[in-house]
Amino acid sequence: MVTSVYITPKAVFYYTKNKPNCKAFARGTCNVASAIDKTCLKDYNYNKRYGQMIVYKNGSALIGDKLVKTDIAANHGRIIEIAPEIVPDEQTEVVDCTARYILPALVDLHTHGANGYDFNTADKEGMKKILEFYISHGVGTVFPTVMTDADEVICRQVALIAELSRDYPEIKGINLEGPFLSSEKCGAMPKQLLQQPSMDKFLTYQRAAEGKIKLITVAPELPNALPFISELNDHKVTVSIGHSNADGDTAQRALKAGAKSFTHWGNAMSQLDRLDLGVAGAGLLSDAFCEIIADGKHVHPDVFRLLYKNKGDKLIGITDSMMATGLGDGDYTLAGTAVTVQNGDAFLKGTTKRAGSTLDAYQGLANTVSMLNLPLNRALNLWTVNPARLVGLSDLVGTIAVGKHADFILFG
């Protein structure tokens, strides 16, 4: 097991003239900066510590929804004690957290790449570059996302990710976005590689992935999709509805069959009409989770607010990031397809079709704070607790509690 500490530079969240104020933070009245100072990002530090006893001394940790002045002891990457005063023995490493805030590390369940690499095309070294990017942006749990591709490519890439997960415990599952999707709502997916739902085919991917595929997007209107969804459920794979042109009834039947979420809500799905819910409306009406790409571009900030008002704790922040994330504008690829990034917006080259985002999770959290006008501790739920609940990781990550992984963001 590993303890991961994500140390952020001073004043990333509190990039204001006011000094951070613990009480105001806890009340939710603190002026959390809506503007993250991007120049700070390069100063991130990352420490990875194996198998050690560590005590984090004198930090202000977010416990439940309150900031608490406390010590935290971790052993082999798990939190073993949270108490006002923990006295470390000689072998124990001590991390001085005086005047620092300790938050749970972020969870990103839907991301295709960053730092110039893409999970559909990267080799192991390239994938490590993506992982280092996440880690330097506060992500403690990630589901690398492989999109529709040729069978041999999907198998090769999920096998590589499964191998990499032995060195990177941040990888707690693989998200397979395709290939069982609608050609009418394929977005940036290669249309010719889409397939009809097939359990045999899914199990081929799953074997290559050593069982690590934990989340999959399915279009429920495809032939056999509903029994396929319920079988995936039996295999403990979380099904998300997306890249779908289904009517509202079909989307609701998919929920009854066991689907639990909606992939990048509002994007690549049939929309709400006064006479038919569509997939988007079924997402709003249901108790299922909805993913949101929190970049203010894929979903308008006002619609984000509407969605939050409707979904509350069932809303999940995702980046859906592609390889240009962390880099500048220019020409890139998404799963091998040419993409142009202009002003941080990724489009299939020569079109206005979006091809993922260039959002990082840390910026996504900051956007959530500013667009929803929420205190940081509540905005954090979209990036910690809520996604952890969807994929059954609540007992391990998402909050700071005894028994959970000691993955933190330290800042201040």
Binding footprint of Zn ion on the chain (CB under 5 A): 177, 320
Residue 33 or 147: the one with the smaller Cβ distance to Zn ion is 147
**β-strand 78-83 against 66-75: which pairing, if any?**
antiparallel
Residue 390 or 410: the one with the smaller Cβ distance to Zn ion is 390
Sheet holding 174-177, edge to edge: 106-111, 139-147, 174-177, 213-218, 238-241, 261-262, 289-293, 315-318
Look up residue 323 and give its two tokens: 């390889």
Residue 136 or 217: the one with the smaller Cβ distance to Zn ion is 217
d(CA 247, CA 227): 18
Q: Are residues 179 and 154 in contact, defined by beta-carbon separation less than 8 angstroms?
A: yes
CB of 166 to Zn ion, least distance (A): 25
CB of 112 to Zn ion, least distance (A): 6
Q: Is the dihedral of CA 238, 242, 246, 247 positive or negative?
A: positive
Residue from 53, 41, 212, 59 nearest 135 by CA: 41
Residue 177 or 247: the one with the smaller Cβ distance to Zn ion is 177
CB of 179 to Zn ion, least distance (A): 13
CB of 320 to Zn ion, least distance (A): 4
Residue 102 or 147: the one with the smaller Cβ distance to Zn ion is 147
Residue 149 or 320: the one with the smaller Cβ distance to Zn ion is 320
d(CA 350, CA 332): 13
CB of 243 to Zn ion, least distance (A): 9
d(CA 231, CA 200): 11
What is the separation of C-alpha 200 from the centre of its chain, rounded to a whole number of angstroms? 28
CB of 322 to Zn ion, least distance (A): 8
What DSSP line would sit under 291-357, residue for residue? EEETTSSSS-HHHHHHHHHHHGGGEEEE--B-TTTTS-SEEEEETTEEEEEETTEEEETTSS-B--B
d(CA 229, CA 217): 10
Q: Are residues 221 and 244 in contact, defined by beta-carbon separation less than 8 angstroms?
A: yes
CB of 151 to Zn ion, least distance (A): 19
Q: Are residues 190 and 337 in contact, defined by beta-carbon separation less than 8 angstroms?
A: yes
CB of 110 to Zn ion, least distance (A): 6
Residue from 301, 297, 299 nearest 280 by CA: 299
Residue 243 or 253: the one with the smaller Cβ distance to Zn ion is 243
CB of 146 to Zn ion, least distance (A): 10
Residue from 48, 41, 54 nearest 12 by CA: 41
Residue 120 or 377: the one with the smaller Cβ distance to Zn ion is 120
Bin 314: left if φ > 0, else alpha if -120 < ψ < 50, else beta.
Answer: alpha
Residue 269 or 376: the one with the smaller Cβ distance to Zn ion is 269
Name the residue whose CB lies closest to Zn ion: 320
CB of 216 to Zn ion, least distance (A): 12
Look up residue 5 and give its two tokens: 């500490």
Residue 104 or 364: the one with the smaller Cβ distance to Zn ion is 364
Residue type at position 66: K
